[in-house]
């Protein structure tokens, strides 16, 4: 049961909605949906992905960061 500070429903599986089976690091628009406004990768609890899909998204985000398609996480100051 969700508490007073938590939303009642989480997102559905975005990859399933788009009909994707694999994640490509070159698809920056899709990967931005799995990254917070500070540049951090969102957790499975938030995204609703399977463990395998979450690993694929994390690897794709890291590769996209290396290729300067996505930002690195911002400092906490």
Asked, for residue 7, whether it belongs to a domain, the answer is: no
Range of the domain at 38: 23-66
pTM over 0.85: no
pLDDT band at 19 (very low <50, low <70, confident <90, very high): confident
Q: CATH number, domain at 32?
A: 4.10.640.10
Q: Over pLDDT 70: what percentage of the chain?
A: 84
- What is the spatial distance between Cα 62 and Cα 2, in angstroms, rounded to a whole number? 32
* pLDDT value at residue 34: 94
d(CA 49, CA 30): 14
46 falls within a domain: yes
The pLDDT value given to residue 22 = 87
Q: Distances in Å between the alpha carbon of 8 and those of 4, 12, 33, 37, 44?
A: 9, 13, 20, 22, 16
Length of the chain equals: 77
């Amino acid at each position: 049961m969700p508490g007073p500070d938590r939303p009642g429903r989480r997102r559905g599986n975005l990859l399933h909605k788009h009909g994707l089976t694999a994640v490509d690091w070159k698809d920056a628009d899709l990967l931005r949906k799995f990254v917070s406004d500070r540049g951090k990768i969102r957790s499975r609890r938030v995204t609703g992905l399977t463990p395998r899909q979450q690993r694929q998204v994390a690897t794709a985000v890291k590769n996209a960061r290396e290729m300067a398609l996505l930002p690195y996480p911002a400092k906490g100051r």
